[in-house]
Structures are given as C-alpha cells and as structure tokens.
A and B are shown apart, each in its own frame.
Chain A
Amino acid sequence: MALAENDRRAAFETTCLPLMRALHGVAVRLTRKPEDASEVVQETLLRAYRTFHAFEPGTSARAWLFKILHTVFLNRHRKERRSADWLPLDDFVERLPASGAGTPSPSVAELESALQSLPERFRVAILLVDVEGLTYEEAAGTLDCPVGTVRSRLHRARAMMLERLRPMSASTPGRRWPGSS
C-alpha cells in the first residue's frame, strides 16, 4: 500500500484511532495500572503508524492492533508480571458501578475483580474473545499461538471465572460448573 504521507495519516486515523478506547480497555485490564495503560496504548498506536504500510486493507484492524498491543505489553511488563500478577486494580475497580439491587448477576466490580484474578495468559484470552469479540483465529494471531491453545486457555479462563463468581450467582444449585469436575 503506497500512500502519500497525508493519505497515510488520514487512512490511519480512520482505520485505527476509533479503536483507541478498545485498546485502552484491554490495556487497563492487562496492565492493571491505568497510568501504564495509557503508555501502552500510545506506544501501540505509534508502532502501528510506523508499520501501517504492512496492514492489509480488508483484514481486521482490531486484531492487528491487539497483536501490536500485546507485544508492547509483553515487552514492557514481562519483568513485572511475576510479582504483580495478583495485585488488584483497586483504584479502577472501586470506580466501577455496581449492578442493580436484586439482580442475580455479579456487579461489574465483581466481574472485574474475577477477571483481574486470572493469570495473564488466561485473562488475555477472555479479553480478546469474550470482551473484544475476536474470533479464535484472530486471537491466535494476536497471541501468536495455535487456535487450539486459544480454545483451551479460554476454557480454563471461563472455568476459573465461574469458580470465582460462583458465590455471587444463586442460580446453579447442586450442579457442577464447567471445568470444575
């Protein structure tokens, strides 16, 4: 794709910048630090802009950007991950609304807390497929792993989420939860 500079900028702004909020959402939930998330998003978009010539129009910009974001995240946080993996995102979670009284579903804060408790490789699978709506194939491309790995991580991730949320949901008496048997 050979674009003049102005065209390249315009195409990038049209294709990629509308996804900034989605990128930030994933970055916040990956880094668990809103300040770090902004830096990850900025670096992601700058890298994407520099390599925009390699983006194929018609393919998923969302999947392409998430792949860059995941790489940026791993590069920046690989060393921190081990020690920080179980730190709650207190500031972020405290600002989330609770669900309405009387509803059987967990509150947003409870969901976020359960999500944050997952190890990174499982958390990212849920984020990409369930939160951001990527296909297994797109998630596999993002994470640079086989589709089967996405499938198994997603299965484990959902089982862990359900296990953590079980006390908050009253509608499953006496029944095994997927992945818990």
Chain B
Amino acid sequence: MTNHLLDEQVQDALDGRLTESELASLREHIRSCEACATGWAAVARLKQWTANLPTPALPVGLPAAVAGALDAEDRRSRSARQGSRRLSLAAGVAGLAALAAFTAWFASRERLARSPSLPSEVASDFRQLRSGRLTLSLQTSDSAALERRLARGELGFPARVFDLAMMQQHLLGGSLERLAGRPAALVAYSGEDGSLLVCRMLRGALAELPEPQGRREHDGIAFLIYADEELTLVFWPEGEVLCVLVGDGPADAVVSLALAKALKDAA
C-alpha cells in the first residue's frame, strides 16, 4: 500500500470494523508511513480520552424521584385494572371550566417582579430542590410518616400531608426549611410527566404577599396566584397558616391542584 490511508479506514480499524487481514494490511502500512501513524494515533488518543470521560454524578434526589414515579405508575396501572376511574381530580375538576378562561388571562399577565418577596423565595427553594442543591430530609411515599416527622419539628402547627396519588402526584418526601425567616414545612410530589410539585406551609397571612397576577375564590377560600418564569405559585390561607403550592407543570394544572388540596385541607 503506497497511498495514505483514508480517514475512514483509520476509523473502521480503530472501531473494530475490519477483518484481521484488512487490519494486518493497515498495520503494515502504518509501520512505514509516519504521516498515517500520526493520524492513527490522534484518533486513537481521542477515543481513549472520550471513553475515559468521567460520568457526571447523579443528583441526590434523582433516584428517589424515579422511584416515586415508578411507584405512581404502579398505583396508576393497578387502579386502571380495577376500573377505578372514579378516582379522578374530584375537587380540581370542579373548577376546571373557570380555569380555562383564567389561564388565558393569566398567561397574558406580566411576570412576577424579581423582588426578594415570599413568592420569589418559594420559587428559589423550588429550583434548588429540582436541581438537587436542596435535599429532602425524609424521602418517603408514606404521608403519615412524613406528617409525624414534621410534627416533631419547630413548626408550631400541625402540617397535614396528603396522598395526592389520585391526582397523579406521588409523594417524594419532605423537610423543614425556613421560609421568610420562619419555620416552614416543605412537601414534594412528582407528577407522572416528571413535573415537580412542592407544598410549603408556614405561619403567615395573605396580607403580607405582594400584588398577585391572579386571584381566585373558591368555597370561601381566597387564592393568590403568581408566575415566576416557568413556575406557578398559588397561595391560600388555612387559619393562621399560609399555604403555597408551586409547580413547574402547566399553570392550570398547578392551580387545579391547589384548589383540590385546599378543599382537602378544609375538609
């Protein structure tokens, strides 16, 4: 072989796609051709470098989030087999018609100003949790166990943790994370579409919140609604406790879930 090797020949050789005789012929050429030997070495080194690239570490919360999604899928398929279609978004559905009109209006509103307000602090915590920079102190799908854990903290009020599986939201776990300088509960759920939903509860009142982009009233409960980039936040009061549901799913779905959860809380 007198001509230089084609790049494709070098590639096929290094990727193990040549026969022994073809490979022997190439090796013979390389022994006598410095130019081709150099090109061969360059590709070989690159293959070695890329093969040895370190695999990025898994975010701490990802295995639990995956396990949660699989659990939710198991429950969903069991439920489907049993014909339990009636397990629907009972309370959420009640407000769905009104939500369609609301969502169109809501989408046209200005984004939340980036002031250091309670909504922006809630949004910041959400993003930290989603990226793995904030972790759940108790990862569990057992709502009662999480309630017990939260009750042992310094909250000063009973934080109720609901199983929202009927709403296709699987409990991931929770933590006590201060919010606005106050003790606050954080409960995280994962949707089947990979979306994250977080409920925060702390002592407070709607009056301390900035002007919202949207308001709703349902069964005598006032809901203040904010958008922060891809996030939707819905605040509502439960006595002395201020609750907020924040999610990165569709805005109308987050609002529906907040309405449903508020009704559950009030029940």
A84 within 8 A of B: no
In whole angstroms, what is the CA distance A92 to B56 when docked?
9
In whole angstroms, what is the CA distance A82 to B103 when docked?
29
The answer to whether A34 and B73 touch across the interface, beta carbons within 8 angstroms, is no
> 1/0 contact trace for A160-181 toward B, CB 8 Å?
0110010001011001111100
The answer to whether A50 and B73 touch across the interface, beta carbons within 8 angstroms, is yes
The answer to whether B39 and A177 touch across the interface, beta carbons within 8 angstroms, is yes
The answer to whether B53 and A131 touch across the interface, beta carbons within 8 angstroms, is yes
A154 within 8 A of B: yes
Query: Of B11, B35, B54, which contacts A158 at CB under 8 A?
Result: B11
In the complex, chain B residues whose CB is within 8 Å of the CB of A115:
50, 53
Classify the interface of chain B: helix, strand, loop or mixed.
helix
In the complex, chain A residues whose CB is within 8 Å of the CB of B41:
171-172
Query: Of A5, A34, A92, A177, which contacts B74 at CB under 8 A?
Result: A5
The answer to whether B43 and A45 touch across the interface, beta carbons within 8 angstroms, is no
> Which residue of chain A lies nearest to B38 when distances are taken between CB atoms in the complex?
A175
In the complex, chain B residues whose CB is within 8 Å of the CB of A177:
39, 42
The answer to whether B70 and A45 touch across the interface, beta carbons within 8 angstroms, is yes
In the complex, chain B residues whose CB is within 8 Å of the CB of A131:
50-51, 53
In the complex, chain B residues whose CB is within 8 Å of the CB of A129:
15
In whole angstroms, what is the CA distance A97 to B17 when docked?
33
The answer to whether B65 and A38 touch across the interface, beta carbons within 8 angstroms, is yes
The answer to whether A46 and B69 touch across the interface, beta carbons within 8 angstroms, is yes
User: How far in angstroms is the closest Cβ of chain A from B260?
Assistant: 23
In whole angstroms, what is the CA distance A147 to B127 when docked?
40
Number of interface residues of A (CB under 8 A): 52
Classify the interface of chain A: helix, strand, loop or mixed.
helix
In the complex, chain A residues whose CB is within 8 Å of the CB of B27:
none
With contacts A42-B194, A130-B47, A155-B8 known, is A20 near B39, CB below 8 A? no
B97 within 8 A of A: no
In the complex, chain B residues whose CB is within 8 Å of the CB of A119:
none
User: How far in angstroms is the closest Cβ of chain B from A145?
Assistant: 17
> 1/0 contact trace for A24-38 toward B, CB 8 Å?
110010000011001
In whole angstroms, what is the CA distance A131 to B55 when docked?
9
The answer to whether B11 and A176 touch across the interface, beta carbons within 8 angstroms, is no
In whole angstroms, what is the CA distance A20 to B58 when docked?
8
B66 within 8 A of A: yes
> Which residue of chain A lies nearest to B6 when distances are taken between CB atoms in the complex?
A178
User: How far in angstroms is the closest Cβ of chain A from B1?
Assistant: 17
User: How far in angstroms is the closest Cβ of chain B from A76?
Assistant: 9
Query: Of A49, A133, A155, A172, which contacts B70 at CB under 8 A?
Result: A49
The answer to whether B66 and A42 touch across the interface, beta carbons within 8 angstroms, is yes
The answer to whether B58 and A154 touch across the interface, beta carbons within 8 angstroms, is no
Q: What are 16 sample pairs from A and B whose C-beta atoms fall under 8 A apart?
A: A9-B74, A12-B70, A24-B58, A25-B55, A35-B127, A38-B62, A41-B62, A45-B69, A46-B73, A46-B192, A46-B194, A154-B11, A155-B8, A165-B46, A171-B41, A175-B39
B interface residues with partner A (beta carbon < 8 Å) = 7-8, 10-12, 15, 17, 34-35, 38-39, 41-43, 45-47, 49-51, 53-59, 61-63, 65-66, 69-70, 73-74, 77-78, 127, 130-132, 190, 192-194
List 9 other contacts, CB 8 Å, given A28-B56, A41-B66, A131-B50. A24-B58, A38-B65, A38-B132, A39-B194, A42-B69, A46-B66, A105-B45, A161-B50, A172-B42
